[in-house]
Amino acid sequence: IFDTGSFELLVRSTRCSACAHPTPAYDHSLSTSYEKNGTLTKHVFGSGPCISMKGYEEIDVGPLKSHGQSFWEIVEHKIQVLDTANFAAIVGIGPNFAYGNQDKTLLMNFGVKEFSICLQRTPGSDGFMTWGSEVTADYKEKNYARANVIGKHHWVTRMHNVSFGKSPLNDNYANVPCTGGGCAAIIDSGTSLIAAPGLALQQLSTQIEPIMEDCSNMHLLP
């Protein structure tokens, strides 16, 4: 999974003997380019934490190559989705070094300064990850929306006046989140959830009809 919300490359590894492996896991003993580091660290994702061991490996994505790329083998985890998912790696594609880390990211070593991700709405549909630009600067200027990155370590931009695309119930604009100076928002391709401060979610809830406990009116929601 290509994750704009993280920075490092983590792989499901045969070192994790207690892990479920629905797809083949990385096996360092089969590699002729693996270099051991041995450092252990804890990574925490929205879906759970894991313990990983650092190493170096040759990483190829199509024609792109990175020799001696730092990566982490998952040796223990509490990420439930990894036990059933078809993916065996979390590829961090954040815009900078991880906080407190000076190892170059995969994007840096590939020399990629521009990429795009397309996730289709229909469940099970193909997704697309494009390394580099496919269109001209003129096309982007005419057809793309631009959001300035304000974060030092993440793809963070600013959101203003969040709503569901229509006027709030009873035109209650006092309960519209992110008015004034707006809110900082991380663009994270590694999750399908929208997480927000409790107050902002309470404000959004005033813009829609109450949700039934059995979710029977979900089809009426935005």
Question: Is residue 219 over pLDDT 80?
Answer: yes
Query: What pLDDT shows up at residue 102?
Result: 83
- Per DSSP, the three-state class of 170 is helix
Q: Is the pTM of this model over 0.85?
A: no
Alpha carbon distance 9, 92 (integer Å): 6
Question: Is residue 45 over pLDDT 60?
Answer: yes
Alpha carbon distance 67, 54 (integer Å): 15
Looking at the chain, the whole-number percentage of residues with pLDDT higher than 70 is 95
- Per DSSP, the three-state class of 139 is helix
- Angle at the Cα of 188 (from 184 to 193), degrees rounded to 5? 95
Side chain identity at residue 29, one-letter code: S
Alpha carbon distance 7, 107 (integer Å): 9
Instruction: For residue range 186-202, list pLDDT tens digits in order.
Output: 998 888 778 888 888 88
Alpha carbon distance 12, 73 (integer Å): 6
Query: What pLDDT shows up at residue 55?
Result: 96
Alpha carbon distance 103, 98 (integer Å): 8
